[in-house]
Each structure stands twice: as C-alpha cells, then as structure tokens.
Chain A
Amino acid sequence: MGRHVAIVGVGQTHHSRRRTDVSQAGLVREATDRALADAKLTMEDIDSVVVASGPVLFAAVNQPEKWVVDAIGARLKPVVRITSGGGSGLAGALQGYYQIAGGQAERVLVVAYDKLSEGALQYSISTLYDPFWGREFAVGIMGFSAAYWRARMDVLGHTEEAAAMVAVKNRQNALSNPYAHVKQAVTVEEVLNSKPLAWPIKLLDVPPISDGAAAVVLSSERMAAKSTDRPAWIRGMGYFCEADNAAARSLLVSEPLALAARRIYRSAGITNPRRQFDVVEVQEPYTCFELSYYETLGLCQPGEAAELIRSGATAADGDIPVNPSGGCAGANPIGAAGLIRLIEGAAQVMGKPAGLRIPNAKTALVQSGGGWANLRGIAVLSA
C-alpha cells in the first residue's frame, strides 16, 4: 500500500515561555531553516508544504498558513493547514506522509508551531466544549484530565506517586535536551507537594506553556539518499477518533489510541511492543497521561503502569525508554508538540538525537493526540 516514506531532515526552535524577538511567522522560519539544512535541501527542492498549528484562538491569526508560506519562501507551492489541537503536528505529518505515499509529491515540508504566550490558553481550550453542554464548566482540558486520572487511580492504581515519578524522569531527561525550555530536576516529594491546579494534577505534573516550532522534511525512497544515508523510515502512521459523549465510554483507556496502536502495529509488524520498540516518545500534556499510554500502547498490561515507572524500565537506561527527550515536560508549544515527539523519535533511529541518545535504537514508537481524549495517533519509525 503506497510508497515508502522517510523522515530525512528535522529541526526545531529553542522553545521558551515567550519569544518576543520573533513573530509567529519568524518562529516557523527558524524551524524550517533548520530542517531544510538538516536535509541538505533548500525550499526549491520541496514539492508541497503542510502547516500545522493549534486553534486560531491561541494567537488570533486566522488561516496563518497564508502568512507562513511567505515567511518560509514557499509562495506558489501547494500548501494546506492541518489543525487538531495537541495532535496537530502528528496529524500534519500524516498529511505529508499521504502525499508522498500516494505518489503526489517526492518531498514535503511539514512545519508545526504555536506561540502560546500570545493568548489566553485555558479559555481558548475550553472552546473545545459544546457551547450548550459543558463549556461553562470546562477548565481547559485540565479539569477533565484530572477527573479521569482520579477515576484511574481507583481502577488502575495510577497513584499520585507514580505520576510524580513520570515528572521526575521526564524533567531529568529534559536537562540534556538543548531545545527544552524547562530544565529543572525535581524529586517525587517536590512534585507531590507542588501547588494543586486541578487536583490530583499539581503544578509539577504540568508541562510549561511554550512558544515554539518544529519542522520535518519527508521524502520518497527515490530521493531520500540525497539528504541522508540514515533516514527514519515511517513503517506506519495513523490518527483515530472516538465518539465524544457516546454510551459505554469509560475513558479509563484512550479508545482511539488503542485503535491506532492495534491497526498500525499490525501493518508495521509489531507483535510485542515492549520488546520490539527501542525507544518511545509520548505526548504527555500531564504526567497522568504517560501512565495511561503505557497501558494503551501495550508497554504493560492495564493496571501495571505504576509498577512500570517504578521499576525504572521507562528511564533512559531502562529496557523501554519513554521520552528520553524530556517529553512535553521540557517544552510544550501545543500545535508543535506532536511533531516534536516525531522528531525526537526519528532522531533516535537516525542516530543523532540532540539530547540523550538511546544506544542502537532501531525502532521507535511515537504517540500524539488532540481534543480531550478523543483524537489520538501513533507513528512507528525504523532505521
């Protein structure tokens, strides 16, 4: 089905709480320049552009792609904007993947960004909710996420201590990531004692609010060798949804993520994820999500996530390292977050991560999602 597609160049900005030295378009330009340089290409070599970003309410510019294409020198090229909340970056990459797999393009630039310093974040996110049914009670997705974490505590044993260990691990890993904007080692006690924001979610369970952009160059097999002799091949990629408020939804696991994993694992030949993946990058907007994804992605059985993090298996030197980049705990420009996870997974199998390197990483799993729990996707990459 379709042609082989590889990631042949990656780039991201040095993320920060507020970049006043560049506009939104300038942020996009930085990431684009780095990805093109990494792929040893110029914009002339690019057939098509995908711009991904979060809700326009984040920064008050509608159809930002019309502005962005000028800023990256891509005028007169095919362009489309993809938006899917926190999953925008991965959903954008998926559109580029389709274009090349389907034979419509040889090389696609996918650039994703958000400049979250500009708007009112939780208020903007609350507009995800039905204006008649729940929006007046929404607390971004934090109220919702915390509520179902509380429910998973009882059923699956995802304790506050286990989530705190995720914060400790990811913040430790972020110390080595030159692009992360939060570099602060924390202890379990510090996380547990940090200020509650939406209990059980506390300040140190939460990623920073970031300005940042990320870009990848996707290539067909025919052209990949012009950029690198060690691309990251996309062995499978998908993005799924579920009904928002249908009967019999427990929300204890992410159903669309489970669907994506089963479907893509099958096409990529993954039958034992714990053993077959060398490294995993998940988008954990809050620590509790990482625990849930361990189970949904099959890194352990339901109810075993707390033990998995406690055992150290997901640490950078464990047998199934998760977020050696530091994950969202290091930086979280929402619209770019999924593409950053893809870049970090790809960089491991390309043998050139900017931060911690997982030795001999050949196969990587990348997860990202948007909405509250109803839009989720994965990618499987290999050397």
Chain B
Amino acid sequence: MLPRPDSFPVDLPPRHSVLSMPYTLTPGPATGTTLAALKQRRLLGSRFKTSGKVVVPAQDFCPDTGDSQFDFVEAPHTGVLNAFTETAEGLLGLVRIDGSDVDMAHRLVDTSYADLKVGQRVSAVWSDAPDAGYLSLSGFRPDASAPLGKVEPYAGGVEAVKVVPYHLDLHYNHAYGPFFGRLFDEMRTSGRILGVRMPDGDGALLPPREIDDISHRPSGTWVEIKQTGTVLAMSIIYLEFVGQKQPPPYIYAEILLDGARTKLIHNVSGLDMSRAKELVKPGTRVRAVWRVERTGSLDDISHFELLDGEEQH
C-alpha cells in the first residue's frame, strides 16, 4: 500500500478540563498536635531523644537522623528571619524560631519587602479567625525589640487533630493534536466518526493515530466509520463515586464500531434496566445516538442504543 500523503491538520484550541478532588488528610501525631496547639496560640516543637535536635514546628521524625522518639516542647513566639521572598500571595519567609535547629516557612505580615532584612528579629502574629488551621498563626512581623525566647517543656492539654479536610481543583488544557483535532471537529460539526485506515488497509484505527501500535507502520488515509457496532464487553454500574458523570444504574460498554479494529468506551442505554443482563451482552448490536448540542467530545454521542433484531455471534 502506498504511504498516506500528509493532510492539513485541524487545530482546535485546547480542551479545558478540571479535576475536583476532595481529600481527608492525616497529619500524624506531631503535625496533628501542632495544628491543635496553634488554635490555643501555642507553637510546639519536637525535641528528638537521641540527636537532641529541636524542630519547630513539631515533626514525627528527626530530619537529620530519622529518630522517631521525641518529646513535644513549647516553642517561643520569636525568632530570626533567615530568608524571604515576595510572591503574588504576599511575603514569605524562613524563620528560625529561637531554640529551633531548623527554619520554618511562613507568611510575613504587617510589613513590606523593602523593610525586610535577613537576620532581623521577628515575632508571631496570631489570627482571631476560629477555623484558620495552620493560619491560626497568621505569620511573623519584624520586631526589633522581640526578646530572645527559650524552648520550654510541653505543658500538655492538646488533643491532636486527626484528619484535615483538603481539596484540589486541578485545571488542565489538553492539546488535541492533528488527529484528535480532526476527529472531534468532525464529530461536533457533522456528527461523523473518522478513523484512519490500518497500514494493511484492512479496517481502521479509532481513535485515529499516526502510527499503528502493532506494526509501527504509518497509518493510512482517513475513513468514515459506521455508527453501528458490536458490544465487546459490558458491565452494569451500580457503584456511586465522587466525580461520577451520571446516576447509576447504567451500562459501561466497550464497543467495536463496524469497520474499526479498535474499541471505544461508552454507555448503552434506552432500555429496560431490569432486563439489562439479558439485553446487553458481548455480541449485542448497537447504534450511536447523538446529542443535538455538540461540543467536540466523545460525549457528543449521548449513548448507544440497541439495534433491534440483530445479534452477532
């Protein structure tokens, strides 16, 4: 077969996608106790038993030796500014709390970049907000008169925070590339599904791609794929989970469209779900049903419906 001539790429703007993920993080004993103590306007450190190192804020393991045996200590609210920078979020600094062997990163408040100097004395600024977490300690401000503080024995009376709620919203802009660009542009504008011919000309790769995965030879010319196909594999989803796009029950299906050599993942619906096990099986024939409003995604196909009276064995 002759090689595929180059075609003009269809360039779509990147597709925006957001992952919105909830978390329940476990801080462990040292950080959990420190977080709880901050609410009481107390700053805790850990003094490691074998190395004698003092780490503020408290950590479970000595950063030098890995020692896991430690006593909590009450750290003073004063220290020295060892480094600083200005960010869009404000001023950040590395503060060496008096008596600590390590620096702690935190915000620098009630000051400006021009007024900061490495080596200057700083003192803690506390927040009145009830649920500020780590930011119960708002940050540190320059304080030339701050007295030299001392690490004291832990006074007790703190119930460690066990779980910290957290959330990540991750924004992505995925590039389509020339093959996906044409595929999804055609789906959106004309409701056609395009693949590329296999190097041997027998059937098509869907989604289209430049190189065949097995022979590693360049794929062939573009070809429209039929909108009917056969269910290769299916399951009935009852599970509910964060980020789910539709309420269960529904049918997850891997479908081989007629003329394609590779599968797509979609849903089979529009049927009596109480009979799903008998109506949808490997071999069941289905047809794409399109949405009226299309955006250029696989979801422009609303679902696959059963093709009555046809079954391939």
- Pair from one complex: yes
* A60: chain B residues within 8 A (beta carbon): 21, 23, 25, 166, 168
Return B210 CB to nearest CB of chain A, in Å.
14
A132–B19 CB distance below 8 A: no
A57–B21 CB distance below 8 A: yes
User: In the complex, which residues 23-75 of chain A have their Cβ closer than 8 Å to any Cβ of chain B?
Assistant: 23-26, 29, 43, 57, 59-60, 70-75
A196–B233 CB distance below 8 A: no
* A247: chain B residues within 8 A (beta carbon): 198, 203, 205, 212-214, 261-262
Return A177 CB to nearest CB of chain B, in Å.
24
Interface 1/0s, chain A 130-160, versus B by CB < 8 A? 0111101111101111111111001000000
Return B221 CB to nearest CB of chain A, in Å.
17
* B265: chain A residues within 8 A (beta carbon): 129, 133-134, 137-138, 144
The CA of A57 and the CA of B64, in the complex, are separated in Å by 29
Q: Which residue of B lies closest to A147 (CB)?
A: B233
Q: Which residue of B lies closest to A242 (CB)?
A: B213
Q: Which residue of B lies closest to A43 (CB)?
A: B66
Q: Contacting B26 at CB < 8 Å: which of A19, A57, A143?
A: A19
The CA of A127 and the CA of B19, in the complex, are separated in Å by 9
- Give how many A-B residue pairs fall within 8 Å (CB-CB): 202
User: In the complex, which residues 250-281 of chain B have their Cβ closer than 8 Å to any Cβ of chain A?
Assistant: 252-254, 261-267, 277, 281
* B65: chain A residues within 8 A (beta carbon): 73
B61–A25 CB distance below 8 A: yes
Question: Is A225 in the interface zone, CB < 8 Å from B?
Answer: no
User: In the complex, which residues 97-144 of chain B have their Cβ closer than 8 Å to any Cβ of chain A?
Assistant: none
Return B4 CB to nearest CB of chain A, in Å.
17
The CA of A354 and the CA of B253, in the complex, are separated in Å by 41
B198–A23 CB distance below 8 A: no
* B205: chain A residues within 8 A (beta carbon): 247
Using known A-B contacts A60-B168, A133-B207, A136-B298, determine if residue A246 contacts B238 with beta carbons closer than 8 Å.
Answer: no
Interface 1/0s, chain B 269-299, versus A by CB < 8 A? 0000000010001110000000000000111
Using known A-B contacts A60-B166, A132-B298, determine if residue A199 contacts B277 with beta carbons closer than 8 Å.
Answer: yes
Question: Is B171 in the interface zone, CB < 8 Å from A?
Answer: no
Return B41 CB to nearest CB of chain A, in Å.
24
* B60: chain A residues within 8 A (beta carbon): 22-23, 25-26, 29, 71
A132–B297 CB distance below 8 A: yes
Among B24, B62, B65, max chain A CB count under 10 A is at: B24
A29–B61 CB distance below 8 A: yes
Using known A-B contacts A122-B242, A136-B297, A143-B237, determine if residue A131 contacts B15 with beta carbons closer than 8 Å.
Answer: yes
Using known A-B contacts A73-B66, A123-B242, determine if residue A25 contacts B233 with beta carbons closer than 8 Å.
Answer: no
Question: Is B192 in the interface zone, CB < 8 Å from A?
Answer: no
Question: Is B184 in the interface zone, CB < 8 Å from A?
Answer: yes
Interface 1/0s, chain A 236-249, versus B by CB < 8 A? 00000001111111
Q: Which residue of A lies closest to B183 (CB)?
A: A132
Q: Which residue of A lies closest to B241 (CB)?
A: A122
Question: Is A95 in the interface zone, CB < 8 Å from B?
Answer: no
The CA of A98 and the CA of B31, in the complex, are separated in Å by 37
B234–A23 CB distance below 8 A: no
The CA of A25 and the CA of B245, in the complex, are separated in Å by 34
Question: Is B42 in the interface zone, CB < 8 Å from A?
Answer: no
Among A25, A118, A127, A132, max chain B CB count under 10 A is at: A132
Interface 1/0s, chain A 95-130, versus B by CB < 8 A? 000000000000000000001011111111011010
Q: Which residue of A lies closest to B239 (CB)?
A: A197
Return B32 CB to nearest CB of chain A, in Å.
8
* A137: chain B residues within 8 A (beta carbon): 245, 252, 265-267, 298
The CA of A133 and the CA of B234, in the complex, are separated in Å by 17
A150–B233 CB distance below 8 A: yes
A73–B24 CB distance below 8 A: no
A151–B233 CB distance below 8 A: yes
The CA of A150 and the CA of B128, in the complex, are separated in Å by 58
A25–B28 CB distance below 8 A: yes
Question: Is A311 in the interface zone, CB < 8 Å from B?
Answer: no
Question: Is B218 in the interface zone, CB < 8 Å from A?
Answer: no
Question: Is B307 in the interface zone, CB < 8 Å from A?
Answer: no
Question: Is B27 in the interface zone, CB < 8 Å from A?
Answer: yes
The CA of A153 and the CA of B125, in the complex, are separated in Å by 66
Using known A-B contacts A131-B15, A144-B254, determine if residue A117 contacts B264 with beta carbons closer than 8 Å.
Answer: no
Question: Is A223 in the interface zone, CB < 8 Å from B?
Answer: no
B22–A201 CB distance below 8 A: no
B22–A120 CB distance below 8 A: yes
The CA of A151 and the CA of B15, in the complex, are separated in Å by 34
Interface 1/0s, chain B 165-207, versus A by CB < 8 A? 0101000101010001000100000000000001000010101
User: In the complex, which residues 252-282 of chain A have their Cβ closer than 8 Å to any Cβ of chain B?
Assistant: none
Q: Contacting B31 at CB < 8 Å: which of A23, A196, A197?
A: A23
Q: Which residue of A lies closest to B214 (CB)?
A: A246
A243–B213 CB distance below 8 A: yes
* A18: chain B residues within 8 A (beta carbon): 26
Q: Which residue of A lies closest to B261 (CB)?
A: A247
Q: Which residue of A lies closest to B28 (CB)?
A: A23
10 interchain residue pairs of minimum CB distance: A73-B66, A23-B28, A146-B235, A123-B243, A246-B213, A247-B261, A147-B233, A143-B252, A243-B213, A134-B265
Would you mind naming 9 contact pairs between A and B with Cβ atoms under 8 Å apart?
Answer: A20-B162, A71-B61, A126-B243, A133-B264, A144-B235, A147-B234, A151-B232, A245-B213, A248-B214
Extra A-B contacts (4), CB below 8 Å, given A196-B236, A251-B233: A133-B180, A146-B235, A150-B235, A199-B236
